[in-house]
């Protein structure tokens, strides 16, 4: 078995994330084909470097001059993307080695995740790469996205990818494709780097984690993994990175059935879950259990400062929702903040006389007096001023009578009190909610529906803060 790459070789990762030129081996003129979609994505993202399609049957594709082979390109190539069948990989890979291409992404499947023949092919590919000092991401992946370089190597029709501070490492091509499409169309935050590692025959988690740990474009790193090839090194790197920025991990294959499926997906072997759980905690890694946590947590980090603590104050349109909030908060090991006497006095001054002021604040006793906009604005500011409150969670009532622009007081208060975090949920009219959510997230106030998602996400964010503090 060929040994894993040494740490000194990690410097070559810059050719994946900041290439000056890209060769597409298997580029196609046919709309809908993977080799055509990747070129469309490259154009849509405005990649400023050189693009070299490789196709012996065409003279040009989408205005790019084509070449029969990488060896025919008269200029250096930093990154080669393979979108040819597994059995047709070795010859062009050898040509890349002769061309001294430093970085390769192999998209196709049909390797160790399938059978022994595929595993042997992986070994041959890796031998060629090692002999040439060439690095490989994949195979069996959609590759990577790097918005600071205006580049994606995915074959999935994404179009322009929104830039932001979140980076992903995923042992699946799904993140660079389907999940990225959801983020682009269903969410409002953006990404910095996305690395789909696939079978990880060469470049593996620890190297990319180390790279992103030093990356000024990356505020937090979220990961989906099914197995670790070099667990010791991964946790050594993670211990250093988690002191500087959050690292959040979803480990696939937690169950017996999931572990069996993980092997057929990327040829990963599951580890002992209790041992892994302890190792994650010791390394400062925050572990999550739901796939969608990788989106909700990213949104929370992208838009707001991490919560300073677990003391939560909330406000809800009715007493019943307040009870639901209290249950959700406590079930996630968060604390309903004890309001100061000053806060209670201020709330009593604007509330109906028949209500008992508590946490969560029952807005049905205040909105009839002040009106909906002034009531919510006044209460949120009072709670933001309380030194015993770390996080404010307004549960807002979406209504055609409460237009989206009326929620602008929330981003204004967030700017006024930058040391406090605000996370929002809604009930009420769906169309009004969607309009308000768009406005709020455009101005860095994250919105979560259903209501319980706020508190599940908030608990993870609290663990991120505690890991940074070494708690």
Residue-wise pLDDT tens digits, 382-421? 999 999 999 999 999 999 999 999 999 999 999 999 999 9
Residue 343 lies in a domain: yes
Residue 108 lies in a domain: yes
Residue 97 has pLDDT above 90, yes or no: yes
Q: What is the pLDDT of residue 104?
A: 97
Q: Specify whether 112 is located in the same domain as 241.
A: yes
Range scoring the smallest mean pLDDT among 3-7, 342-346, 442-446 = 3-7
Query: Quick check: 297 and 187 in contact, CB under 8 A?
Result: no
Residue 442 has pLDDT above 50, yes or no: yes
Q: What is the pLDDT of residue 269?
A: 41
Query: Quick check: 125 and 136 in contact, CB under 8 A?
Result: yes
Mean pLDDT of 220-228: 93
Question: Looking at 262, 278, 300, which one is the last position of a domain?
Answer: 300
Question: Looking at 300, 334, 366, which one is the last position of a domain?
Answer: 300
Q: Specify whether 278 is located in the same domain as 418.
A: no
Band (pLDDT 50/70/90 cuts) for residue 143 is confident
Mean pLDDT of 270-298: 90
Q: Specify whether 258 is located in the same domain as 379.
A: no
* Choice between 321 and 112, residue whose per-residue pLDDT is larger: 321
Mean pLDDT of 221-247: 94
Residue 1 lies in a domain: no
Q: Report the C-alpha gap between 271 and 324 in whole angstroms.
A: 37
Q: What is the pLDDT of residue 45?
A: 98
Q: Specify whether 358 is located in the same domain as 261.
A: no
Residue 271 has pLDDT above 70, yes or no: no
Residue 59: count of CB within 10 angstroms of its CB: 8
* Choice between 143 and 263, residue whose per-residue pLDDT is larger: 143
Q: Specify whether 75 is located in the same domain as 222.
A: yes
The full DSSP string for 290-347 is -TTHHHHHHHHHHHSPPPSSSEEEEEESSHHHHHHHHHHHHHTT-EE----HHHHHHH
* pLDDT cut 70: percent of the chain above it: 94
Range scoring the smallest mean pLDDT among 69-78, 253-262, 300-309, 313-322 = 253-262
Mean pLDDT of 94-114: 91
Band (pLDDT 50/70/90 cuts) for residue 457 is very high
Q: What is the CATH number of the domain that holds 136?
A: 3.40.50.261
φ, ψ (nearest 5 deg) of residue 456:
-65, -45
Q: Specify whether 114 is located in the same domain as 261.
A: yes
Q: How many folded domains does the chain comprise?
A: 2
Q: Specify whether 293 is located in the same domain as 316.
A: no
Mean pLDDT of 6-18: 73
Q: Specify whether 107 is located in the same domain as 123.
A: yes
Q: Specify whether 296 is located in the same domain as 348.
A: no
Q: Report the C-alpha gap between 334 and 459 in whole angstroms.
A: 7
Q: Which domain holds residue 172?
A: 7-300
Mean pLDDT of 64-77: 97
Query: What average pLDDT does the chain have?
Result: 92
SS3 (DSSP) at 448: coil
Q: Specify whether 231 is located in the same domain as 333.
A: no
Q: What is the pLDDT of residue 8?
A: 44
Residue 447 lies in a domain: yes
pLDDT digits (tens, 9 = 90+) for 331-363: 999 999 999 999 999 999 999 988 889 999 999
pLDDT digits (tens, 9 = 90+) for 363-382: 999 999 999 999 999 999 99
Q: Report the C-alpha gap between 259 and 215 in whole angstroms.
A: 32
Question: Looking at 265, 300, 335, which one is the last position of a domain?
Answer: 300
Q: Specify whether 92 is located in the same domain as 188.
A: yes
Mean pLDDT of 163-175: 91
Residue 2 lies in a domain: no
Q: Specify whether 21 is located in the same domain as 170.
A: yes
Residue 54 has pLDDT above 50, yes or no: yes
Reported as type and span, the H/E element at residue 392 is: strand 391-398
């Amino acid at each position: 078995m060929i040994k894993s790459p040494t740490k000194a070789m990690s410097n070559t990762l810059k050719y994946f994330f900041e290439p000056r030129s890209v060769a597409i081996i298997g580029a196609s003129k046919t709309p809908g084909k993977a080799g055509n979609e990747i070129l469309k994505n490259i154009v849509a993202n405005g990649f400023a470097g050189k693009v070299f399609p490789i196709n012996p049957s065409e003279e040009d594709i989408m205005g790019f001059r084509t070449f029969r082979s990488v060896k025919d390109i008269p200029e250096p190539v930093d990154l080669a993307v393979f979108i040819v069948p597994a059995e047709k990989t070795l010859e062009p890979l050898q040509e890349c080695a002769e061309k001294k291409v430093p970085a390769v992404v192999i998209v196709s499947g049909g390797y160790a995740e399938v059978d022994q023949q595929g595993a042997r092919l992986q070994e041959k590919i890796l031998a060629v790469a090692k002999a040439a000092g060439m690095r490989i991401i994949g195979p069996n992946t959609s590759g990577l996205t790097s918005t600071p370089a205006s580049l994606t190597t995915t074959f999935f029709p994404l179009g322009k990818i929104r830039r932001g501070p979140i980076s992903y490492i995923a042992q699946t091509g799904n993140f660079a494709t389907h999940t990225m499409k959801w983020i682009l169309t269903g969410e409002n935050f953006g990404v910095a780097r996305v690395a789909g590692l696939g079978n990880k025959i060469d470049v593996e988690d620890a190297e990319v984690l180390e790279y992103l740990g030093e990356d000024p474009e990356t505020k937090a790193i979220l990961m989906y993994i099914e197995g670790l090839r070099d667990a010791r090194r991964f946790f050594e790197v993670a211990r250093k990175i988690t002191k500087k920025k959050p690292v959040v991990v979803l480990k696939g294959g937690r169950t017996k059935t999931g572990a069996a499926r993980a092997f057929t997906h990327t040829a990963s072997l599951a580890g002992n879950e209790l041992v892994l759980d302890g190792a994650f905690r010791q390394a400062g890694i925050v572990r999550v259990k739901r796939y969608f946590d990788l989106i909700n947590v990213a949104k929370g980090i992208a838009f707001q400062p991490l919560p300073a603590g677990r003391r939560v104050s909330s406000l809800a349109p009715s007493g019943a929702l307040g009870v639901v909030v209290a249950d959700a908060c406590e079930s996630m090991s968060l604390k309903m903040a004890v309001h100061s006497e000053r806060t209670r006095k201020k709330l009593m001054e604007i509330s109906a006389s028949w209500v008992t002021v508590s946490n969560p604040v029952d807005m049905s006793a205040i909105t009839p007096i002040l009106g909906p906009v002034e009531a919510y604005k006044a209460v949120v500011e009072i709670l933001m001023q309380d030194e015993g409150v770390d996080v404010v969670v307004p549960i807002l009532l979406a209504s055609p009578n409460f237009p989206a622009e009326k929620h602008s007081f929330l981003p204004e208060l967030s700017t006024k009190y930058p040391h406090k975090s605000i996370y929002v949920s809604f009930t009420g009219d769906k169309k009004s909610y969607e309009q308000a959510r768009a406005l709020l997230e455009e101005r860095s106030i994250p919105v979560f529906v259903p209501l319980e998602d706020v508190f599940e996400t908030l608990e993870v964010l609290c663990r991120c803060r505690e890991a940074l503090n070494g708690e």
